[in-house]
Homo-oligomer: A and B are copies of this chain.
């Protein structure tokens, strides 16, 4: 079993806030991340797939095909977008935290990655140089 990781990048705006709460309470809980007028990040997305390399090609999965899947299912919709307003498939009742993003990104690409012959192993998202989240799927890290 070998693991192949592909990095993609996107730039997006978001804010963390709960509409039922006052601005003040949002500020107390989410700090500057609740700024009503949004802020944003250069996100780095790392998708890892697992499998046996094809004996002839030497690929767990063609990295270019993996890139196409990530772009079509995620990047095209989130790059230069607002996570709270523009991303139709991001649930409105979920805060666009790094944790929730990797969870939802998993749903977006798992099937297509698996159909391409590899197994989706993990999705890691770097929000700033100081923070990243990682998800290994519903069965967890194996």
Residues of A within 8 A of B (CB): 1-9, 11-14, 16, 18, 29-33, 35, 37-42, 53, 56-60, 63-64, 67, 79-82, 85-86, 94-100, 102-103, 128-136, 140-142
Specify how many copies of this chain sit in the oligomer: 6
Nearest opposing residue in chain B for A100, CB measure? B58
Is the Cβ of B133 less than 8 Å from the Cβ of A4?
yes
Is the Cβ of B94 less than 8 Å from the Cβ of A58?
yes
Is the Cβ of A41 less than 8 Å from the Cβ of B42?
yes
Give Cα distance in the complex from A31 to B129, angstroms. Answer: 26
Q: Which residues of B contact A140 (CB under 8 A)?
A: 1
> Interface on chain A toward B: helix, strand, loop, or mixed SS?
mixed
Q: Can you name 27 A-B residue pairings with CB atoms under 8 Å?
A: A1-B140, A2-B102, A3-B134, A4-B98, A6-B130, A8-B130, A14-B40, A16-B57, A18-B56, A29-B57, A31-B64, A32-B79, A37-B85, A38-B38, A38-B40, A38-B82, A39-B40, A39-B80, A40-B41, A41-B42, A42-B42, A42-B128, A57-B97, A58-B99, A60-B99, A60-B133, A67-B130
Is the Cβ of A3 less than 8 Å from the Cβ of B133?
yes
- Given A99-B58, A128-B42, A3–B35 Cβ distance below 8 Å? no
Is the Cβ of B80 less than 8 Å from the Cβ of A1?
no
Is the Cβ of A82 less than 8 Å from the Cβ of B35?
yes
A67 to chain B, nearest CB (A): 8
